[in-house]
Structure 1
Amino acid sequence: MSSTQLSYDLPVVTQWPDGRILQCRAHRIDQHGMTIRVPYTAKAGSQIRLGFKILVGGKPQAISAVATVSLSYLSGSDNMFHIDLRFKQLSPQQQEDIETFIRERKKG
């Protein structure tokens, strides 16, 4: 599996460990995880539920996943926390859909 990353503004719905639900944006995605921008920090090792849609072959695909926080840092450029997340237990189809989405966006 390649480690291709895509810089892409992607809407994501998140559910935090305390039950809070927050709509946010991812600004980087690859088959291993994504980086989201939020007004809150998160503790490394915390698990966050994610929901997002991607276009694969022109058709929308909904992805639901659990991700583990690997890093959280405050960015001075946008005054938001950037949280690096690693996907847990994506199905082979979800992995393939994310890879296809990235390839299609990179082609233009």
Structure 2
Amino acid sequence: MKYEDVIRQGLVTARQDNEPIDDATAQAIASWLGEGVGRGFRLFLATGVASPQLYKELARLYDLRRPETESWLDALVIYCVRRPTRTRARNWRDGWEGRPGV
């Protein structure tokens, strides 16, 4: 399944369940948006930890956003804000490769 398919399906499921996106969808969005962004995204991609640096990078991405990815960015921010801790996400997959997208 392609990144875009994982993201679209994850957004649909989150909307249907009236919940934030799941770990896999957050990881796919971060990978798609985060290519070449910075260490906040690299840490997030590796562990699922939403650091202060990640929030700075997300803010920068809002300045560069495109209509087709704005809902993805919104979903990732909500996911990060709603995570209960700064520990590694339980269902995080190792080896998720980056993809350019912004």
Q: Which bracket does the TM-score occupy, shorter chain normalised?
A: 0.3 to 0.5
Q: Which has the higher helix share?
A: 2
- With the length of structure 1 as denominator, give the TM-score of the two structures: 0.31
More strand by share: 1
Q: Which has the higher contact order (CA 8 A, sep 6+)?
A: 2
TM-score by length of 2: 0.32
